């Protein structure tokens, strides 16, 4: 198994947990934040969907441009955008040419180059960032009145082992 195949295996293995955490966010709590300097729950959920879209651009263009697109007004809209991006990304990852995995790539904020690396380094970095933001969002669930789904094993809310 090469690096790209291993990435696909690890990335794909995380998608169930992403989906369940996003779907656990109460629609009436998108503005919830545990602290004034913390990101709102809806914005964290939206960032997860947007980062999946960025990974599509990474594979297609070896260039990602961060755009602060308006967040959908409902968790259903966020989940739909996440699902669409995830399905597209899954297909692209399965058929991605190994020779492109080590091509140089750029991460941009508008016209500003925020980082330069390889496709594989950015892909792994974004996977880790996605897991980080999922963890943030998971920590918001109970205070918002929601249940924490199982991620790597049973949670205190998932029933098994609680």
Helix 119-141 to helix 3-24 angle (10° resolution) is 20
> What is residue 162's predicted lDDT score, i.e. its pLDDT?
44
Structural domain boundaries in the chain = 3-144
* Cα-based distances in Å from 61 to 46, 58, 160: 22, 6, 43
Percentage with pLDDT > 70 across the chain: 98
Checking if the pLDDT of 6 tops 70, the result is: yes
Tokens at 55, concatenated: 């990974």
**CB environment 119-132: b (16+ within 10 A), e (fewer):** bbebbbebbeebee
The stretches of 62-118 forming alpha helices (DSSP H) are 75-95
pTM (predicted TM-score): 0.93
Architecture of domain 3-144: Up-down Bundle (1.20)
27-70 pLDDT per residue, tens: 999 999 999 999 999 999 999 999 999 999 999 999 999 988 99
For residues 135-147, give the mean pLDDT: 96
């Amino acid at each position: 198994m090469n690096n790209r195949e291993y990435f696909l295996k690890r990335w794909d293995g995380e998608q169930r947990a992403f989906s369940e955490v996003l779907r656990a966010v109460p629609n009436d709590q998108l503005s919830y934040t545990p602290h004034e300097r913390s990101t709102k729950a809806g914005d964290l959920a939206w960032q997860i969907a947007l980062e999946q879209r960025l990974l599509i651009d990474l594979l297609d263009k070896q260039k990602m441009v961060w755009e602060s697109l308006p967040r959908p007004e409902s968790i259903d809209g966020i989940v739909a955008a996440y699902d669409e991006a995830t399905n597209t990304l899954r297909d692209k990852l399965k058929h991605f040419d190994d020779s492109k995995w080590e091509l140089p790539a750029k991460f941009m904020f508008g016209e500003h180059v925020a980082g330069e690396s390889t496709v594989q380094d950015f892909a792994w970095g974004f996977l880790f960032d996605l897991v980080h933001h999922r963890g943030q969002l998971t920590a918001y669930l109970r205070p918002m009145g929601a249940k924490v789904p199982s991620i790597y094993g049973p949670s205190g809310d998932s029933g098994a082992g609680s």
